[in-house]
Copies of this chain bind each other. A is one copy, B any other.
Amino acid sequence: MSRGILFVVSAPAGCGKDSILEKALSKDINLTYSVSATTRTMRAGETEGISYYFKSREEFEKMIKDGELLEHTEYCGNYYGTPKQTVEEILADGKNVVLKIEIEGAGNVKKMLPEAVLIFILPPSMEELSRRLHKRGTEDEETIQKRLKQAETEISCAHSYDYVIVNGDLDAAVNDFVSIIKAEGFRAERNAELISGLNK
């Protein structure tokens, strides 16, 4: 059985990465979501162990110290990190894994695992992103402005990703995402055994 592929998805807040992932995970593309750990506050509608593993700063710093994280980063004053063992087990089991992590964390994963595939989700425009952040109504104006500023900085890092998708229409963006997951499975370097097997 061949090893699964590690996908990393990043997007500025309000670009719909959660919606895209939720829909993509229901498709027949052998994809498993690996839950991140964070010290940020749980939001309405979030669930421990599904949205994130919610940790105290002390707990999180112990995970760092014990080498239990594939990567970790501090973002807007909170820690975010990827539990290493879970990812490794899913990949070894031949399943594709998707991580949802911030720019710096994504870069760190790519450094440690260059075969990881990085996907960045873009908004159709900054105006539309602003509209969506206001519409979701979970943050005050100051936080929204901070997030828009942050989004600009993040988007300038999209060049260093492998792929970019524009989330204008959700279903179209999900299809685009699925094409990438499928296509990466056809990479020749991931099918060396298949090729050799025909020349036995």
Residue of B nearest to A151 (CB): B198
A158 CB–B CB distance under 8 Å:
yes
A176 CB–B CB distance under 8 Å:
yes
A158 vs B190: C-alpha distance in the bound complex, in angstroms? Answer: 12
Prevailing SS type, chain A contact patch: helix
A52 CB–B CB distance under 8 Å:
no
Within 8 A of B (CB), among A151-176: 152, 155-156, 158-166, 176
Q: Which residues of B contact A192 (CB under 8 A)?
A: 159
A126 CB–B CB distance under 8 Å:
yes
Check A156–B186 contact: CB distance below 8 A: no
A70 vs B159: C-alpha distance in the bound complex, in angstroms? Answer: 30
Check B164–A125 contact: CB distance below 8 A: no
Check B163–A123 contact: CB distance below 8 A: no
Residues of A within 8 A of B (CB): 120, 122-123, 125-126, 152, 155-156, 158-166, 176, 178-180, 182-184, 186-189, 191-192, 194-195, 198-199
